[in-house]
Amino acid sequence: MHYTTNPIAVRYGETDQMQFVHHSNYLKYFELARLEWLSQMEISYAQMERDGILMPVVSAVVNYKTPLFFGDTFQVKVILAKQPRATLDFEYEITNQKGEIICTGSTVLAFLSPKTKRPMRCPDFLLKKFN
């Protein structure tokens, strides 16, 4: 199961002195794609938090291949890597307007109870959305 964003333009403020997109922005791009996908599936982070479900990122990996520059456009592909249990495991691939792979990566989000601060199982409504 996967989702790909529409093309996104690199903004000047996302670049560094070398004119590359700063490395920290790639995690923001991953999050943007993940939230956009969940929104497309009618899954609301805000509603989950109101319902007592937190989803902090507990692991993040970014593998840089070649830089993006101001004015480039790119797309982020996000893939659900495995069936949710106590975590959601996502993989990512960012490609530029030429179809070149810019970077790959992954994140793991845990389901966490806000009261106990302990892990919990994936809620049933999410399991249904991801099946």
Amino acid at 88: L
pTM confidence score = 0.92
Q: Choose among 72, 121, 78: nearest CA to 100.
A: 72
Distance CA 101, CA 33 (A): 16
Distance CA 8, CA 27 (A): 15
Tell me the domain boundaries of the chain: 2-130
Residue 99 makes CB contacts below 8 A (sequence gap 6+) with none
Distance CA 86, CA 78 (A): 19
Distance CA 26, CA 129 (A): 26
Average pLDDT over residues 122-127: 89
The chain-wide mean pLDDT, for the chain, equals: 94
Which tops the pLDDT comparison, 48 or 109? 109
Superfamily of structural domain 2-130: Hotdog Thioesterase (3.10.129.10)
- The predicted pLDDT at position 75 comes to 98
% of residues, the chain, pLDDT over 70: 100
Of the residues 16, 51, 89, 124, only one is catalytic, namely 16
Average pLDDT over residues 98-119: 94
Could you confirm whether 16 is annotated as catalytic? yes
Alpha helices in the chain (DSSP H): 25-40, 45-50, 124-130
pLDDT band at 63 (very low <50, low <70, confident <90, very high): very high
| 3-state DSSP assignment of residue 125 | helix
- The predicted pLDDT at position 131 comes to 79
